[in-house]
Amino acid sequence: DVVSIHAPELPQTRHLFDAGRLALMRDGATLVNTARGSLVDTDALVKELVSGRIDAVLDHTEPEVLPVDSPLYDLPNVLLTPHIAGS
């Protein structure tokens, strides 16, 4: 299964994909975010990714520039692209 996020950045969509919604994803599913980083609760996503339960393809993150020590850089089930989805 693949969940692909295509939504605007609005106050109502902040952390639309929080721990509860991420937990609803099937084991082995992939989350694709080509929208905005604020739509996904990064801490909740990292917990799911570290568990190995889901995968992620992220063109946007929150914060937009990840800290150099972000675990997202080293997880084998994450593909990061440098904000090029609209290109």
Residues identified as active-site = 36, 64, 83
Q: Which domains does the chain carry?
A: 2-80 (3.40.50.720)
What is the model's pLDDT at position 86?
66
What is the model's pLDDT at position 42?
98
Taking alpha carbons only, the member of 12, 7, 67 closest to residue 37 is 7
Residue segments in the chain with a per-residue pLDDT below the cut of 50: none
CB 36 within 8 A of CB 14: no
Q: Is the dihedral of CA 73, 2, 38, 87 positive or negative?
A: positive
Please list, in sequence order, all residues whose beta carbon lies within 8 angstroms of the beta carbon of residue 43, skipping any fewer than 6 positions away.
none
Query: And the tokens for 54?
Result: 């889901």
The runs of H, that is alpha helices, within 27-79 are: 42-51
Query: And the tokens for 71?
Result: 């675990």
What is the model's pLDDT at position 63?
93
Query: And the tokens for 87?
Result: 């290109």
